[in-house]
Amino acid sequence: MAVSVAVDEPGLLLEGPHWDSRTGTLLYVDIHGQHVHRWDPVTKQKDTYDIDCMVGAVVPRESGGAVVAAGTKFAFLDFETRQLNTVATVDPHKPRNRFNDGKCDAAGRFWAGTMGDEPVPTKVDRKAGSLYCLHTDGNVTKAFNEVDISNGLAWTSDNSIMYYIDSLQYSVDAFDFDLPTGMLRNRRQVKTFDPPVDGVPDGMCIDTDGKLWIAMFDAGQVLQVDPETGTQLRSISFPAPRTTSCCFGGPNLDIMYVTSSRVGYSAEEVQQKPLSGCVFQVTGLGARGTPGMCYNG
Ligand code: BGC
Ligand code: CA
């Protein structure tokens, strides 16, 4: 196994990596930098799209372009014209809220959650966020509220379970998932963490064996966890403590891409941890991911 820097151009708060198999590119966001990035690992070219607010998540649309969860809006991004068109807004009474992590389910719905104001990393206005679903017909429903920092989404390959992380609950939760309707039932914890030693659970992805890979913010690690037993199977260390999220990518879906953050660091800390804010890649893991789903509306 080898860890190396994939995109050697640090951003501020890189998040939400998504491998787009159709174009062979990695999509990810810089939340504080207010950018969507599209990086081609073959040509090493990076295309950057400016977003007019903090952008928490980006996922390709089946019909072309992408859907983003940015500020408190869902919007479509046209890669050619670079235009952003709002399709819905959420949290109208919480103007300081913003969208954070988001992902699509196998029916092509886009799930994304919000969080309250966060003046210092992880010091957030508590319980101000909610998890939302943008359905393929453009309707938005709220799945639940009282969320601290909405993060890590993943589904089992049979779509019977959705995994979810509210970071400051220090757990991975599971829901019974109904693919035809998108209904969530029976929330329970499948893994708990000990702060501060373990760090803060952030973004996650799932491999073809149904094991979760969880980026631990402030621990510089991605952990492989068996959600059926709650046991930690493996850990990978990164030369950046604020690891934020991970996904499988590459032509065989066997390269893991890991994003990181430098937000909250002083100039001195940035000098000490200069790779903070880079995208890393892990090869030779011996694990593969399932393809990232697109938005189908
Ligand atoms: C958020 C950050 C937050 C971090 C904590 C990320 O998903 O975007 O703002 O500090 O989670 O784990
Ligand atoms: Ca995240």
Pair of tokens at residue 170: 């220090």
Instruction: Please tell me the distance between residue 117's alpha carbon and the centre of ligand 1 in angstroms.
Output: 11
**What pTM does this model have?**
0.97
Q: What is the pLDDT of residue 150?
A: 98
Q: pLDDT-based confidence at 141, cuts 50/70/90?
A: very high
Name the token pair of 119: 């003046």
Query: What's the confidence (pLDDT) of residue 54?
Result: 98
What Cα–Cα distance (Å) separates residue 145 from each residue in 66, 140, 183, 220?
26, 14, 15, 29
Task: Say if CB 131 and CB 164 are below 8 A apart.
Answer: yes
Instruction: Report the alpha-carbon distance of residue 210 to residue 245 in Å, rounded.
Output: 17
Pocket mutation for ligand 1, best pick of 12, 13, 276 (most atoms within 8 Å of C-beta): 13
57 close to 36: Cβ distance less than 8 angstroms: no
- C-alpha dihedral (10, 256, 292, 20), degrees to nearest 10: 60
pLDDT bucket at 216, cuts 50 / 70 / 90: very high
Give the helix/strand (H/E) hosting 270.
helix 267-272
The model's pLDDT over 69-95, given as tens digits with 9 standing for 90+, comes to 999 999 999 999 999 999 999 999 999
Using pLDDT thresholds of 50, 70 and 90, give the confidence band for residue 4: very high
Which residue CA neighbors atom 5 of ligand 1 most closely? Answer: 122
Q: Tokens 């200069």 correspond to what residue?
A: 274
Amino acid occupying residue 274: P
- In total, the chain counts a number of residues equal to 297
Q: Any idea what DSSP says for residue 61?
A: B
The answer to whether 148 is a known catalytic residue is no
What confidence category does residue 19 fall into, taking pLDDT thresholds of 50, 70 and 90? very high
Pocket test for ligand 1, best of 117, 124, 217 (most atoms within 8 A of CB): 217
In this predicted structure, what is the pLDDT of residue 191?
98
pLDDT given at position 287? 98
pLDDT of residue 273: 97
Averaged pLDDT, 155-176: 98
Please give the biggest Cα pair distance in the chain: 51
- CA 288 to chain CA mean position, Å: 18
pLDDT in tens, 200-215: 999 999 999 999 999 9
Neighbours of 111 (CB within 10 A): 24
For position 47, what pLDDT does the model report? 98
Looking at the CA of residue 122, tell me the nearest atom of ligand 1.
10
**Confidence at 121, pLDDT banded by 50, 70, 90:** very high
For 194, counting Cβ atoms within 10 Å of its Cβ (0-12 exposed, 13-18 middle, 19+ buried), the class is exposed
Residues 6+ apart with CB under 8 A from 264: 120, 121, 242
Q: Is 166 in the pocket of ligand 1 (CB under 6 A)?
A: no
pLDDT recorded at residue 194: 95
* Average pLDDT, integer, range 230-249: 98
Give the residue-averaged pLDDT of 176-192.
98
The mean predicted confidence, pLDDT, of the chain is 97
Check if the beta carbon of residue 275 is closer than 8 Å to that of residue 6: no
Is the separation of the CB atoms in 172 and 190 below 8 Å?
Answer: yes
Q: How confident is the model at residue 242 (pLDDT cuts 50, 70, 90)?
A: very high
Write down the pLDDT at residue 41. 98
d(CA 31, CA 28): 9
Beta-sheet pairing, 150-155 with 161-166:
antiparallel
Per-residue confidence (pLDDT) for residue 87, from 0 to 100: 97
Tokens of 9: 């151009």
Q: Buried b / exposed e across 252-286, counting CB within 10 Å, b at 16+?
A: ebbbbbbbbbbbbbeeeeeeebeebbbbbbbeebe
Which among 91, 101, 173, 202 is annotated as catalytic?
Answer: 202
Q: Looking at residue 244, what is its pLDDT?
A: 98
